[in-house]
Amino acid sequence: MPASDCTAEGNMIQLRIQKESDLYNPYDPSQTKINEKVYHYLKSFCTELEYKKHLHDTLQLITDEPINEEKFKAALQEAVKQDRDEFDLQIAINRKRAIWGYIMGILLSIVGVTLSVFLDQILLALISFLGTMTISDAVTIQAKLNPDIKRLRRLLDPFSDFKLEVVQTDQRQSEG
């Protein structure tokens, strides 16, 4: 299946396929959705180290037959867009959860303090504990979870401006 390589001219991702249909989901007759294995292989180069260096700016397809470059780029960018949309949706859901966490935590704390005169110490401690834990969860979402998701989203940036190079194997053999 796919193989990667770093050349002397610069770092690139190389993907070896036999025919263009290998790039697309076999269950998609329109061939507009990228093959999951191909997409996961390409995303494996989206690490923090690679992102900071922005090493892989060229994707080289090595194939036995011609490839419609624009069609493949569109399929890849659509897959990246779907991933980004999922990240954005999760961030929005997490924001709502954090807001509700803050509200519930503050309400539980207020209820605990207000009812402290009428409640015994164990129930007061339980209400106070629930309020504190709810606020703690909201802070974790806001300070840790959402920034991590945003970082994962940014790792897909190299696919927004990559160069695609198609090399047919019979051309490579004649050059060598």
Query: Could you state, in chain order, the average pLDDT of each consecutive group of 10 residues for the chain (176 residues)?
Result: 40 85 90 91 75 65 89 92 95 96 90 76 82 93 93 84 81 46
Domain segments of the chain as ranges: 5-175
Nearest to residue 74, comparing CAs of 23, 125, 132, 137?
A: 23
Compute the distance between CA of residue 132 and CA of residue 18 in angstroms, rounded to an integer. 58
Compute the distance between CA of residue 92 and CA of residue 30 in angstroms, rounded to an integer. 32
How much is the pLDDT for 173? 47
How much is the pLDDT for 159? 80
Beta bridge partners of 13: 59
**Residues with Cβ within 8 Å of residue 56, at least 6 apart in sequence:** 11, 12, 13, 45, 50, 158, 162
C-alpha to C-alpha distances, 84 to 91, 133, 142, nearest whole angstrom: 10, 30, 19
Tokens of 47: 């690490």
How much is the pLDDT for 8? 28
How much is the pLDDT for 50? 54
How much is the pLDDT for 135? 93
How much is the pLDDT for 102? 94
How much is the pLDDT for 94? 96
How much is the pLDDT for 9? 39
How much is the pLDDT for 45? 79
3-class secondary structure, 119: coil
Give the pTM.
0.75
